[in-house]
């Protein structure tokens, strides 16, 4: 009996990762070639480390429904990534003329504010992946998904990304609409060991490419609907399409 178990699990994983009917057949997948950091990265929201300056700037974020979808985002968003043996480092560069944030409790539903969102599936199997959201007050929501909602997935909000460090720098004034801000920057250090929930080692994870999605929720109108500006469009208003996220390649 035991020898049949492994192929069955593989089959389940393949089914879980297949795109569903009704969604666009093909979405171009972006790849980011992340350099290895040569020095320490101080998580203070300020991207003045030489490593950040040398890291490539991502493509500008587009509407979640597609790179050519109209209307296009009216505010620029980019990201950068770095890595070392301990951490994945993420920088978010978010143009914003009116930086706002209200939520202060850990694990609040952060996308009710304008936010910055990261989705990570290190082993690319569309199961057991991570979602991290934060606002301009650096309030974090982090959770673990067992699989996408479309496959009956459940989220586990009490899960916290052990050792996660995040910081935000506001270039302007927070919650003061009387002036014009330039934007906000996010700096994150994500311990690779804390993403090993499927019996991998950090080195095993670093040996291969990851799936990674970035999204920015922007409430242009208070009444909504919200804008979803993303690095790799999924083709529909739903980030929980892991096979359509971009690829993180670790440059060795």
Separation CA 189–CA 102 (nearest Å): 23
Mark the segment that binds Ca ion (CB under 5 A) among 9-17, 125-133, 208-216, 231-239: 125-133
Enumerate residues 6+ apart whose C-beta is below 8 A from 217. 111, 113, 114, 115, 117, 226, 227, 228
The reply on whether position 107 binds Ca ion by CB under 5 A is yes
The reply on whether position 125 binds Ca ion by CB under 5 A is yes
Restricted to residues 143-172, the positions that interact with Ca ion (CB under 5 A) are 160, 172
Q: How far is the CB of 10 from Ca ion (least distance, A)?
A: 13
- Residue ranges in 103-238 assigned as alpha helix (H): 202-206
The reply on whether position 173 binds Ca ion by CB under 5 A is yes
Mark residue 107 as left, alpha or beta (left: phi above 0; alpha: psi -120 to 50; beta: remaining): left
| CB closer to Ca ion, 62 vs 148 | 148
Total interface residues for Ca ion by CB under 5 A: 16
Q: How far is CA 116 from the centre of its chain?
A: 8
The reply on whether position 176 binds Ca ion by CB under 5 A is yes
State the CB neighbour count (10 A cutoff) for residue 208. Answer: 13
Separation CA 22–CA 39 (nearest Å): 46
Closest CA to 80 of 221, 234, 251: 251
Please select the residue that binds Ca ion; options are 33, 42, 54, 76, rule is CB under 5 A: 42
Q: How far is the CB of 14 from Ca ion (least distance, A)?
A: 13
Backbone CA torsion sign across 64, 70, 76, 79: positive
Largest Cα–Cα separation, the chain? 69
Question: Taking CB under 5 A as the rule, which mask of x and - marks residues 191-230 in contact with Ca ion?
Answer: ----------------------------------------
The reply on whether position 123 binds Ca ion by CB under 5 A is yes
Residues in the chain: 252
Q: Which residue is nearest to Ca ion (CB)?
A: 173
Mark the segment that binds Ca ion (CB under 5 A) among 40-48, 55-63, 83-91, 209-217: 40-48
Q: How far is the CB of 62 from Ca ion (least distance, A)?
A: 25
Q: Which residues bind Ca ion (CB under 5 A)?
A: 42, 44, 46, 107, 121, 123, 125, 127-128, 142, 160, 172-173, 176, 179, 181
């Amino acid at each position: 009996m035991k020898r049949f178990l492994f192929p069955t699990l593989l089959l389940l994983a393949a089914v879980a990762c297949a795109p569903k009917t009704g969604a666009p057949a093909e979405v171009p997948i972006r790849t980011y070639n992340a350099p290895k950091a040569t020095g320490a990265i101080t998580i203070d929201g300020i991207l003045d480390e030489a490593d950040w300056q040398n890291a490539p700037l991502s493509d500008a974020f587009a509407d979640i429904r597609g790179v050519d979808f109209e209307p296009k985002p009216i505010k620029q968003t980019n990201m950068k990534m770095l890595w070392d043996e301990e951490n994945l480092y993420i920088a978010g560069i978010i143009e914003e003329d009116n930086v706002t944030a209200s939520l202060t409790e850990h694990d609040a539903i952060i996308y009710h504010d304008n936010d910055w969102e990261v989705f990570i599936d290190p082993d690319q199997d569309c199961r057991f992946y991570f979602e991290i959201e934060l606002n301009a007050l650096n309030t974090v929501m982090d959770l673990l998904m067992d699989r996408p909602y479309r496959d009956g997935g459940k989220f586990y909000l009490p899960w916290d990304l052990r050792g996660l460090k995040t910081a935000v720098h506001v270039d302007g004034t927070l919650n003061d609409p009387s002036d014009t801000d330039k934007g906000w920057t996010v700096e994150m250090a994500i311990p690779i060991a804390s993403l090993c929930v499927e019996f991998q080692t950090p080195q095993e994870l670093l040996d291969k490419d990851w799936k990674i999605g970035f999204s920015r929720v922007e409430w242009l109108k208070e009444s909504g609907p919200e804008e979803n500006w993303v690095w790799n469009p999924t083709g529909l208003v739903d980030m929980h399409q892991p096979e359509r996220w971009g690829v993180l390649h670790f440059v060795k």
